[in-house]
Amino acid sequence: MVTTLDQFETVIGLEVHVQLITNSKMFCSCSADYSGAEPNTHVCPVCLGLPGVLPVINEEAIRLIVAIGLSLNCKVSDFSKFDRKNYLYPDLMKGYQVSQFDLPICENGWQDLEIDEGLFRCGITRVHMEEDTARLLHRKNAGGSYSLVDINRSGVPLVEIVSEPDMRSPEQARAYLISLRQLLRMIGASNANMEEGNFRCDANISLRPFGETELGTKVEIKNMNSFRSVYDALCFEQVRQAKALIEGENIVQETRGWNQEKGITISQRVKEEANDYRYFPEPDLPPLTLSNDFVENIRSEIPELPSAKKQRFVSLGLNEFEAGTLSEDRSRANYFDNLVESLEGKSERAPKLAANWMLGEVARWDNEHVGKELSEFPIKADSLAELIVLTEEGVITNAVAKQVFEKMLSDGLGAKQIVEKDGLAQLGEEAGDELVAIVRSVINDNDKALADYLAGKSSALKFLLGQVMRQTKGRADHALVQSLLEAELEALE
């Protein structure tokens, strides 16, 4: 099969629904924890939609959606309201879903994504609040098919995050979902697990010839229950549309369902009047005018996100690789921050030194202890800083620093303590006589190296240098030893 994709640009926008982590439901005090609960035991007159009840907004859900919006660089509206989205379906107790139509709580944001080609910014159209529906189970027996309803999920806080049609490939769509999931978990807003159904994604995809600015006819894909299936469905759909376009067919604007077993999208029965939701303002819920204080208070509690961390590390003077590696794991980033803080004022190269140790010796420990976090690393950041300072000040050599590091790990002693106890301080100018003696004895004991050196082999010098360092257990000042060696050898020539 000839791929036909190189003629068209793919345009993808994603609609993601996430369940928030709250104790109670969106508008009533029933427990929101429906997983594992006995069916129809988290139900009250409000989520049942009985006449005469009064729903009341769950403040925690509003705090969480604002946190999501701020994390996605959205503007938080100073005026938003709820609306009724009317349709009749057995998963909806009231005959309408409380949602937000024209005045969502958050809009106009973006999410920066890292993909192979570099940094990529995806626009966020809006983030709005709504409520989840009841769970339907479909049964079949000799008498025919029927459905069963469990109302527990009805009314659980649900947030819809709508992206701009900014993605240009299934890979970008996947990167968006992965970073969104990471963000939602980081701020504690949602478990964001697609397999468990608390993170759901619908995709809009269209194709257009390269260079065309108008969007092509879009198709909405549903029924995807993993990141993998979103990726596969988009890959399938872009090829299907490209083929149709090349054959001169029109793309029908429709909803297609992803069939995991067959690996294809299938046109879903076009529901007449499907979009006639007759939205109107929810009369039972007064509007929200979230104050600046309310919003700023939430902003101050949002942990720094990985992308912001990375940028901050780059601004400290780290390169892309260092900043990326240190920011991707929360406990690693925290350790690095503590280390830099402990080094502050003690070295101008503090961030760089800290990064070198983090990506060197500390990373080695990390790799050898799979499943452990750096918060469990036995050397505390201020102790490691002490070791780094000893090295920076020339008290010990780099080679000795590594020995001390191992000792700190095995014995749990401080760096200074180990250096003093084991007499590991660097042998510098003040130990000149001692070093000269060692240099001479090394030259005496290594006739072959000496002959090689005199024959012009420069590698012999390195060998002799190594021998001196060995005899001093790495304590000798490297540069000093080199100059002493050269002087002694020159005298022999």
Taking the complex as a whole, how short is the minimal distance between the CB of residue 195 and other proteins, in angstroms?
19
Q: Tokens for 239, please give them.
A: 């090829």
Binding mask 65-84 for Zn ion (x = CB under 5 A): --------------------
Beta bridge partners of 10: 207
Residue 45 or 303 with smaller CB distance to other proteins: 45
- Rounded least distance, CB 309 to other proteins, Å: 29
Q: Which residue has the tokens 């000269």?
A: 436
CB of 142 to other proteins, least distance (A): 14
> To the nearest whole angstrom, how small is the minimum distance from the Cβ of residue 45 to Zn ion?
7
| Of the residues 4, 5, 15, 39, which one makes contact with other proteins according to CB under 8 A | 39
Q: Which residues contact 72 (CB under 8 A, 6 or more apart)?
A: 106, 109, 110, 111, 124, 127, 161, 183
Smallest gap from Cβ 39 to Zn ion, in A, equals 14
Least distance in angstroms from the C-beta of 161 to Zn ion: 25
Taking the complex as a whole, the smallest distance from the CB of residue 202 to other proteins amounts, in Å, to 15
Binding segment for Zn ion among 13-21, 23-31, 167-175, 288-296 (CB under 5 A)?
A: 23-31
438 binds other proteins (CB under 8 A): no
Comparing CA positions, the residue from 74, 184, 168, 187 lying closest to residue 120 is 168
Least Å distance, CB 151 to Zn ion, is 8
Taking the least distance from each CB to Zn ion, the nearer of 55 and 170 is 55
* Interaction of residue 399 with other proteins, rule CB under 8 A: no
- Residue 62: which of other proteins, Zn ion, none does it interact with, CB under 5 to 8 A by kind? other proteins
The phi, psi pair for 307, rounded to 5°, reads -65, -40
R_g (Cα) of the chain, nearest Å: 32
- The SS3 of residue 258 is strand
CA distance 57 to 63: 11
Which of Zn ion, other proteins, none does 285 bind, CB closer than 5 to 8 A by kind?
other proteins
**From the CB of 145, what's the least distance to other proteins, in Å?**
4
Residues 6+ apart with CB under 8 A from 277: 85, 86, 87
Burial class for 328, CB neighbours closer than 10 Å (0-12, 13-18, 19+): middle
Of residues 261-320, those binding other proteins (CB under 8 A): 269, 273, 276, 278, 281, 283, 285-290
Q: Give every CB contact of residue 88 below 8 A, 6+ residues apart in sequence.
A: 95
Size of the site for Zn ion (CB under 5 A): 5
- Identified binder of other proteins from the candidate list 147, 297, 315, 483, rule CB under 8 A: 147
How many other β-carbons are positioned within 10 Å of the β-carbon of residue 354?
Answer: 29
Q: Draw the binding track, 39-58, toward Zn ion (x: CB under 5 A; -: no contact).
A: -----x-xx-----------
Contact between 155 and 149 (Cβ < 8 Å) = no
The region of 80-88, 184-192, 211-219, 241-249 touching other proteins under the rule CB under 8 A is: 80-88
Which residues are CB-contacts of 49 (< 8 A; sequence separation ≥ 6)? 93, 94, 95
- Interface positions, 103-142, toward other proteins (CB under 8 A): 103, 136-138
92-96 long-range CB contacts below 8 Å, 24 or more apart?
92/133, 92/134, 92/154, 93/47, 93/48, 93/49, 93/134, 93/151, 93/154, 94/49, 95/49
Residue 12: which H helix or E strand, with range? strand 8-19
Structural tokens at position 179 = 């970073």
- Considering the complex, state which of residue 60 and residue 114 has its C-beta at the smaller distance from other proteins: 60
Residue from 86, 191, 217, 446 in contact with other proteins (CB under 8 A): 86
Q: Collapse the DSSP code of 182 into the 3-class scheme (helix H, G, I; strand E, B; otherwise coil) and give the result.
A: helix
SS3 letters for 81-122?
CCEEEECCCCCCCCCEEEECCCCCCEEEEEEEEEECCEEEEE
Binding mask 1-30 for other proteins (x = CB under 8 A): ---------------------xxx----xx
> Minimum distance between the CB of residue 288 and other proteins, rounded to whole angstroms?
6
**Interface with Zn ion (CB under 5 A), residue from 30, 177, 384, 396:** 30
Residues 151-170 that bind other proteins (CB under 8 A): 151
Counting contacts by CB under 8 A, is residue 437 touching other proteins? Answer: no
* Shortest distance in whole angstroms from residue 120 CB to Zn ion: 42
Binding positions for Zn ion, rule: CB under 5 A: 28, 30, 44, 46-47
Binding positions for other proteins, rule: CB under 8 A: 22-24, 29-31, 38-45, 48, 56-62, 79, 81, 86-91, 103, 136-138, 144-151, 269, 273, 276, 278, 281, 283, 285-290
